[in-house]
């Protein structure tokens, strides 16, 4: 199944959830792990992130965004270009973002939760195929609203892992949407509402990076409040 927004997920019963926030949280998460990050702790609010650092992870890097920009006093924003090896290798990162970490919070009680973007799509599909369980792709969207880039990525994931699966109508719709625009993915996402916003604030290169396909083979898994490599 595919949930086009986090609210959609409330009606879902699948035990395996894949959270997708292409622009940019789940792309930055995959990039962080590909560059050696040891664990990543999502936080719902800035205050929670700061408290987690003070109380539990004093050596962690504070990361995240509000309105797409780095949070004052934090070491990292939410651009995947910031999550380079010489900064994140071996590190714990505490991350709070507007929509991505909120969607993770919705999924926290599922039996298994993974994060995906275009950058690690095939690795995630291979991991899901080995599990042989029902899967729901949970699109983070933007402040509760549908975001096309997340649904397009869900469509790619359905296409890649759904060959022998029974697909819901929303999974069929996401796959059809992806197949309809895959030859002009960049133009489509650049024209989307979050794509336009990121371009306006100077992150056009991030949008292009977030659409790169399978540059990483990592499968981030969220378990007991912490993301590590599956």
Contact call for residue 25 and ligand MLT (CB under 6 A): yes
Strand partners, 63: 76, 95
Of 35 and 97, CB closest to ligand MLT = 97
One of 23, 52, 116, 157 touching ligand MLT (CB under 6 A): 23
Task: Give me the least distance between CB of 103 and ligand MLT, in Å please.
Answer: 8
Q: List the 61-66 sheet strands across, edge first.
A: 2-3, 135-139, 16-20, 112-116, 220-223, 226-229, 39-42, 92-96, 61-66, 69-70
Candidate ranges 5-13, 19-27, 148-156, 163-171; the one touching ligand MLT (CB under 6 A): 19-27
Contact call for residue 98 and ligand MLT (CB under 6 A): yes
One of 6, 16, 57, 68 touching ligand MLT (CB under 6 A): 68
One of 5, 6, 16, 65 touching ligand MLT (CB under 6 A): 65
Contact call for residue 21 and ligand MLT (CB under 6 A): yes
Contact call for residue 99 and ligand MLT (CB under 6 A): yes
Candidate ranges 46-54, 96-104, 124-132, 167-175; the one touching ligand MLT (CB under 6 A): 96-104
Task: Give me the least distance between CB of 131 and ligand MLT, in Å please.
Answer: 26
Contact call for residue 78 and ligand MLT (CB under 6 A): yes
Of 25 and 152, CB closest to ligand MLT = 25
Contact call for residue 71 and ligand MLT (CB under 6 A): no
Contact call for residue 97 and ligand MLT (CB under 6 A): yes
Q: Which residues of this protein are in contact with ligand MLT, per CB under 6 A?
A: 21, 23-25, 65, 68, 78, 97-100, 198
């Amino acid at each position: 199944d595919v949930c086009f927004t986090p609210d959609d997920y409330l009606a879902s019963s699948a035990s395996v959830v894949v959270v997708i926030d292409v622009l940019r949280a789940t792309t930055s998460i995959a990039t962080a792990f590909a560059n050696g990050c040891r664990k990543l702790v999502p936080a719902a609010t800035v205050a929670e992130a700061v408290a987690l650092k003070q109380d539990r992870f004093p050596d962690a890097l504070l990361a995240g965004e509000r309105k797409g920009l780095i949070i004052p006093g934090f070491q990292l924003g939410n651009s995947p270009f910031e999550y380079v090896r010489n900064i994140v290798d071996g590190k714990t990162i505490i991350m709070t973002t507007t929509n991505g970490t909120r969607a993770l919070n919705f999924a926290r009680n599922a039996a298994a939760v993974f994060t995906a973007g275009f950058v690690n799509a095939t690795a995630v599909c291979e991991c899901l195929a080995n599990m042989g369980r029902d899967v729901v792709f949970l699109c983070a969207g933007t402040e509760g609203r549908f975001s096309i880039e997340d649904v397009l990525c869900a469509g790619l994931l359905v296409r890649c892992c759904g060959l022998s699966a029974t697909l819901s109508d929303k999974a069929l719709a996401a796959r059809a949407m992806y197949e309809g625009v895959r030859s002009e993915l960049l133009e489509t996402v650049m024209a989307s509402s979050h794509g336009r916003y990121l371009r306006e604030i100077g992150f056009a290169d991030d949008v292009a990076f977030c659409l790169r396909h399978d540059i990483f083979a990592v499968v981030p898994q969220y378990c007991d409040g912490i993301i590590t490599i599956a």
